[in-house]
Amino acid sequence: MKGDLKKLSFIIVLDLILNSILYLPFSGVGVVTLSEIQQQYDKSPKGIVIPPLISIKDIDTLPTKTTGLIGSWGFYNRKIGITQLQDYPSYFVNTEAYFNSNLPHTINDFPYVFLKSDIDSSGSSHYYHDQNISVTSFSSQEITANVNLNQSDSLVLLQNHYRFWKAKVDNKEVKVNKSFITFLSVPLVEGSHTVTFRYEDNWLYVFTGISLVSFMVIFISIYIFKKRGRNVLEYD
């Protein structure tokens, strides 16, 4: 039994070592020091800031060598928008379909939030900043923008369309549409509006609560069993 346990432990340790060696090239083993990698992280803005309204193609990127060390700069630069599909933890079929289409050639000329009419107004190869849009607040799950329109239009947000995204126009909940294969949009009528997109996954709180309760039950059970075990030993 002990021999089998040693063999199993050896296999686990060997597996960890081999996997570490396989992935180490991506962290620059023998090529770049940890301090140099940290310098790249330090270039990222601190905290949560309002991303600037600049065209996607003008967002700064990193050389391939550096990207291999820390991943896409889009993970850290506090700016919204990528020009090619990245290895995010979550995968959306529509996102891949978008990048396989011709749409990026046009969308990359725009910032992460824009009006549909801007595409027709600016043409397919030049972006002009739409002064009718201003982002007033931004967080990890919510963005609010003020929009002034002289005609009906749709506001597009370059965020993957997903069922937990909600939207409000002037504090009234509206339907979130899908535009350009994978992005969020809401229709707007002429006038000035405050538009808020918010991610609301109530199930996340439920599952988090279940996990916490389960952890507490396990912890209390272990404590009770250990206490009973000590009492039995003392009795014997």
For the stretch 39-84, pLDDT in tens is: 767 777 777 889 989 888 888 776 655 555 566 677 777 788 888 7
- Supply 126's token pair: 């030049």
**172-181 confidence digits (pLDDT tens):** 999 999 999 9
List beta partners, residue 179: 183
The burial of 123, by beta-carbon neighbours within 10 Å (0-12 exposed, 13-18 middle, 19 or more buried), is given as exposed
Dist CA 119 CA 110 (whole Å): 8
Residue 115's pLDDT is 93
Is pLDDT of 184 > 70? yes
Residue with tokens 């809401």: 186
Q: Are strands 165-169 and 191-199 parallel, antiparallel or unpaired?
A: antiparallel
Sign of CA pseudo-dihedral 111, 116, 117, 123? positive
* Cβ within 8 Å of residue 80, ≥6 positions away: 51, 111, 112, 158, 159
- Please state whether the predicted TM-score (pTM) of the whole model is above 0.85: no
